[in-house]
Structure 1
Amino acid sequence: MKNWLLHMKYCPSLSVKQLGKLWREIEKDRLKRLSAHDIAAFLEMKTDQHERFQREFALFDLATVIKELEQHQIGLLSIEDTCYPSLLREIYDPPLLLFTKGDLDLLAYEMLAVVGTRKMNEHGKEIISKLVGPLCQNAFVIVSGLALGVDAQAHKEAIRTGGRTIAVIGSGFLQFYPLENTALFANIAANGLILSEYAPHITARKWHFPERNRIISGLSVGTLIIQAEKRSGSLITADAALNQNREVFAVPGNIFEPVSMGTNNLIQQGAKLVTEVTDIMEELRQYG
């Protein structure tokens, strides 16, 4: 089924939700035999989407795609592969095919998501310095989204302290976003692991980030939020973690700072308040 999933990923007009519906509701042997018209009819696509999908479906050439992936050292991880993370497989809408760069062995370790605002201040940087290194020493792989701010700093701190890190991005590998983190992207690809649900030439779109966030939380036994505004995207990751029955942790902050409003609200709603790594370890002891 991996080749079929690859074909679908090269049809960008087919949404993640639509692909999930196909996977859940149609037998796998039948899926492989469906035409573009059959798929469009089953999903009740509107005319414009149907036409785009037909064109994309027809243009796909497996040999050319495989050659390009090999040229750029991009791997594939299917939900049917034995090394696919068991925690991620448990969520309602797991990614069916992931494009990969780096060390897949990291997926066998216990993971913790660390996310937060793109508008990180010096206090946020100090928090990351205090917490991420000890988490790595406790054998957690740090998972984040390679965004500006807290995400990037969490990756950097994991690397600086000799830990392991995984980045889940919201674009294809050949259209990496944000460009400011290109050097960090290369570092993690060489020394950690990068995952993307999107084919290499797909550019970042605003709806990709909530889709990406469910993977970040889905990989992890818990999600730690370090600085977040009231409407921060990292709160979407926290919601995803809760929906996936995972632990949510938050670092409290100054009530006068906008980057503390989201984390303080999470704590009011029941997230575990974190000031020391032991706060996290005590809560996750059952996983150890």
Structure 2
Amino acid sequence: MILVLSQLKGIGAAFIKKNLSSIRQKHRWASPTTEKSIENFLALTNKKYSSLEIQEAVSKAEDILTECESNQIGFMSIVDEDYPRELLEIKDPPPVLFFVGNLSLLKIDAVTVIGTRKPNDNGKIIAERVGKYFASKGWAICNGLADGIDTFSILAQEKFCFAKVIGVVGSGLSSTALRSLPKQSVANIDHILHGEGLVLSEMPPSKKQDTFSVVKSCRIQAGIGKGIILIQSSLDGGSKFTVKAAVDSRRPLGVICPVKSDINREDYAANRRITQILHLSQ
């Protein structure tokens, strides 16, 4: 039902979260057919859709389930027990999460480590040390598996230093869709899945990555982590979306203060700005 609802135009993640209590009260809307159940539920929320629109949404959901089965992709909805509790705390948690890999990682503490795709040497070293530290404490590391800081935070001595990695990507998880990701991201996914890691997406299996889907994935990265750490970023870097999501969700935010030799670099401008704001607020 959640999957069908998410295929209806005008029904988004925030709407589904707002109506979770009604969704859970199956006795109020459950019916022998999916179409009738959807109609009953929508009547409770004053949303109106034609029978044809509902049938089309059901058909799309069935196609997605078929794709999941053929590509060995798992999925969970926002009402499932396995759905990460931390993710429920954001304002628009994805109604459905698709996954490949070790789902048990969602039950342990995770930290989101993010930053620029083009770090300098100090950024690389710091990312490696932060990743290795949290890995040694039994935490999972979460990020978008992009080139740069994301990659160095899950690497040590040119090898993956730990298996507990949660990657969140902006494409679907079918092999065809994953080819729309940058080469480094694909390589990271291969390493993770050969170990005990987990890859998540809210996109249907065959959806290719685009700018919009990448931005949307940032809020999931922020929601998965108990907190986030910004290693290195310019003001206009993609990390700003994850930082904003973390702040909106009231997650702890850690920011690396640049060393003296890096303090005026543009690719540390976001670090400078945030630390200045924090200093002024004290």
Opposite residue 242 of structure 1, the aligned amino acid is: V
1:68 corresponds to: 67
**Alignment CA distance shift 1:264-1:98 (3 Å):** same
**Residue of 213, 217, 220 corresponding to 2:222:** 217
Residues 143-200 of structure 1, C-alpha deviations (whole Å, 9 max, x = no match): 0011222112223349622251100111111212423121211222332000000101
Opposite residue 266 of structure 1, the aligned amino acid is: I
1:99 corresponds to: 98
TM-score by length of 2: 0.79
% identical aligned pairs: 26
Identify the structure with bigger relative contact order (alpha carbons < 8 Å, sequence gap 6+).
2
Query: What is the CA–CA distance in structure 1 between the aligned matches of 2:5 and 2:269, rounded to whole Å?
Result: 40
1:86 corresponds to: 85
2:164 corresponds to: 164
**Alignment CA distance shift 1:132-1:61 (3 Å):** closer
1:257 corresponds to: 265
Does the CA contact (< 8 Å) of 1:133 and 1:163 recur in 2?
no
Query: What is the CA–CA distance in structure 2 between the aligned matches of 1:209 and 1:67, rounded to whole Å?
Result: 24
Matched, 1:24 2:18: yes
Does the CA contact (< 8 Å) of 2:142 and 2:165 recur in 1?
yes
Query: What is the CA–CA distance in structure 2 between the aligned matches of 1:55 and 1:179, rounded to whole Å?
Result: 36
TM-superposed CA distance for 1:265, in Å, is 1.1
Query: What is the CA–CA distance in structure 2 between the aligned matches of 1:136 and 1:86, rounded to whole Å?
Result: 21
Query: What is the CA–CA distance in structure 2 between the aligned matches of 1:156 and 1:267, rounded to whole Å?
Result: 27
TM-superposed CA distance for 1:123, in Å, is 2.1
**Alignment CA distance shift 1:83-1:34 (3 Å):** closer
How many residues are aligned here? 256
**Alignment CA distance shift 1:127-1:187 (3 Å):** same
Query: Is there any run of 5+ residues in structure 2 with no aligned partner, and where?
Result: none
**Alignment CA distance shift 1:23-1:260 (3 Å):** closer
1:185 corresponds to: 189
**Alignment CA distance shift 1:93-1:78 (3 Å):** same
Question: Which stretch of the first structure deviates more once superposed, 21-30 or 242-251?
Answer: 21-30
Query: What is the CA–CA distance in structure 1 between the aligned matches of 2:15 and 2:112, rounded to whole Å?
Result: 27
CA RMSD of aligned residues (A): 3.0
Query: Is there any run of 5+ residues in structure 1 with no aligned partner, and where?
Result: 272-288
